[in-house]
């Protein structure tokens, strides 16, 4: 720990103690995490989170070249926070055929694209075979691309409807060409909060079981948390602790993505959105608490570019990808990034302007290009 940081923290006994734990690579407790959330010393939280980030990832900020494929926004669930979901007969619903999705992939694919990210609604009529065929067709078209596909909520529905175990269903998808799964659908793990905002959705235990099973099969995954709605700091910490315990067991999470609730076009819009200070505080606490998940993602299509840049100074070390205007999930919820897309040059400049070293990565965080 450098002398300047120690001097800044010396006036706050608690934060000074946390800095000593970071220096000694000691894990912070739930109670300490709660005190971090309750701290009003935002500059000190940033310093602590950045110290933790530097110890794990140095001055690197990662990104990849990717695009999204969203097969449908038709969904059997009706989560109160969701602005994306539509009924099957709604005018603005979509439901692409496999051939249509392959054409979308061809439109966005270039030789330097390393990942396709596939998520969508839980369609009542699409089974496991439908999605295995989709993955297999994409794999045939683009043999080298990393296919990251289907949240645990999507997997829960398609696998159970095929009368298979999660192990059997995930193995089938892996044989078709699936490489990893995204972190969506976690929302907040607390059962009482879930009962209020997404009571029909897959349970916490189901989400955890699917990710643990994927890790056992060598399918890595991301983890996420939807925050800024009706949850409390305690609920957030319980969520982080649950992820930290599973990571201790499986070591299968690549990254953690804090996802801010956006208020437009959903049934709890009246609660509004939390302020940027709370967003940045959440990034800092997540980085300090999740000592065993190596990467914290500042998902710029959700945060907006300006806030995403600030998050890099609060422990985040990953910007996700170039996207190529291929996702509607957050634009439909009111994100300022209505057509999210960045070129490689724009991403590199964005990261350098924030004071960090850009690194193009693959989906497993192997370094492909370092832009000094």
Task: Give residues with Cβ within 8 angstroms of 299, minimum separation 6.
Answer: 257, 259, 308, 320
Q: What is the pLDDT of residue 325?
A: 73
CA gap 48, 91 in Å, rounded: 49
User: What digits encode the pLDDT tens for the residues 285-338?
Assistant: 999 999 999 999 999 988 999 999 999 999 999 999 998 877 766 566 555 657
Q: What is the pLDDT of residue 161?
A: 93
Q: What is the pLDDT of residue 336?
A: 64
In this structure, the chain runs to a length of 372
Residue 252's closest CA among 299, 217, 277?
217
Would you kindly state where each structural domain of the chain is located, as residue ranges?
A: 3-52, 59-370
Residue in the structure block whose two tokens are 């007969």: 89
* Maximum C-alpha span of the chain: 63
User: What digits encode the pLDDT tens for the residues 218-256?
Assistant: 999 999 999 999 999 999 999 999 999 999 999 999 999
Mean pLDDT, rounded, for 111-117: 95
Strands, E assignment, 65-175: 66-69, 115-118, 146-149
Contact, 371 vs 352, CB < 8 A?
A: yes
Q: What is the pLDDT of residue 302?
A: 87
Q: What is the pLDDT of residue 339?
A: 78
CA gap 190, 194 in Å, rounded: 6
Q: What is the pLDDT of residue 21?
A: 94
Give every strand in the sheet of 115-118, ordered side by side. 66-69, 115-118, 146-149, 180-181, 220-227, 253-260, 295-296
CA gap 80, 183 in Å, rounded: 19
Q: What is the pLDDT of residue 347?
A: 94
Burial class from Cβ neighbours inside 10 Å (0-12, 13-18, 19+) for residue 24 reads: exposed
Of the chain, the percentage scoring pLDDT greater than 70 comes to: 94
Q: Count other C-beta atoms under 10 Å from residue 96's C-beta.
A: 16
Q: Minimum mean pLDDT among 68-72, 197-201, 338-342: which range?
A: 338-342
Q: What is the pLDDT of residue 9?
A: 73
Q: What is the pLDDT of residue 84?
A: 80
Tell how far CA 101 is from the center of its chain: 23
Mean pLDDT, rounded, for 202-217: 98
Mean pLDDT, rounded, for 35-40: 95
Please give the torsion angle defined by the CA atoms of residues 270, 124, 133 and 148, in that order, rounded to the nearest 10 degrees.
20
For domain 59-370, the question of CATH label 3.30.465.10 is answered with no
pTM of the shown model: 0.95
User: What digits encode the pLDDT tens for the residues 127-141?
Assistant: 999 999 999 999 999
Mean pLDDT, rounded, for 198-211: 95
Burial class from Cβ neighbours inside 10 Å (0-12, 13-18, 19+) for residue 168 reads: middle
Q: What is the pLDDT of residue 199?
A: 87
Q: What is the pLDDT of residue 328?
A: 64
Structure tokens at 151: 């949240």
Contact, 352 vs 55, CB < 8 A?
A: no
Mean pLDDT, rounded, for 179-203: 95
Residue of higher predicted confidence among 280 and 2: 280
DSSP state at residue 253: E
Of the chain, the percentage scoring pLDDT greater than 90 comes to: 84
Q: What is the pLDDT of residue 2?
A: 66
């Amino acid at each position: 720990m450098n002398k300047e940081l120690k001097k800044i923290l010396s006036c706050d006994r608690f934060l000074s103690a946390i800095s000593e734990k970071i220096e000694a690579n000691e894990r912070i407790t739930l109670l300490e995490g709660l005190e971090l959330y309750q701290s009003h010393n935002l500059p000190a939280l940033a310093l602590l989170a950045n110290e933790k980030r530097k110890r794990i990832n140095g001055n690197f900020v990662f990104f990849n070249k990717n695009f999204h494929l969203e097969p449908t926004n038709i969904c059997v669930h009706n989560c109160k926070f969701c602005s994306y979901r539509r009924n099957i007969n709604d005018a603005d619903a979509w439901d692409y055929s496999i051939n249509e999705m392959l054409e979308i992939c061809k439109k966005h694919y270039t030789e330097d694209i390393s990942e396709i990210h596939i998520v969508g609604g839980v369609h009542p009529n699409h089974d496991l075979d439908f999605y295995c065929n989709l993955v297999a067709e994409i794999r045939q078209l683009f043999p080298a691309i990393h296919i990251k596909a289907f949240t645990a909520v999507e997997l829960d529905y398609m696998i159970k409807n095929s009368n298979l175990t999660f192990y059997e269903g995930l193995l089938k998808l892996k044989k078709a060409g699936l490489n990893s799964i995204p972190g969506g659908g976690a929302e907040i793990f607390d059962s009482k909060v879930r009962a209020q905002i997404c009571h029909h959705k897959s349970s916490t235990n189901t989400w955890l079981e699917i990710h643990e099973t994927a890790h056992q099969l060598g399918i890595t995954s991301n983890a996420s948390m939807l925050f800024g709605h009706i949850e409390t700091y305690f609920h957030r910490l319980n969520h982080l602790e649950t992820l930290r315990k599973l990571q201790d067991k499986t070591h299968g999470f690549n990254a953690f993505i804090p996802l801010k609730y956006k208020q437009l076009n959903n049934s709890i819009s009246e609660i509004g959105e939390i302020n940027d200070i709370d967003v940045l505080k959440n990034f800092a606490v997540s980085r300090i608490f999740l000592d065993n998940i190596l990467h914290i993602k500042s998902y710029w299509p959700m945060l907006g570019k300006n806030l995403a840049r600030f998050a890099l100074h609060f422990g985040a070390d990953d910007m996700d990808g170039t996207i190529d205007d291929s996702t509607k999930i957050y634009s439909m919820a009111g994100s300022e990034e209505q057509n999210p897309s960045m070129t490689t040059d724009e991403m590199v400049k964005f990261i350098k302007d924030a004071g960090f070293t850009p690194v193009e990565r693959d989906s497993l965080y192997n370094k492909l290009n370092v832009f000094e």
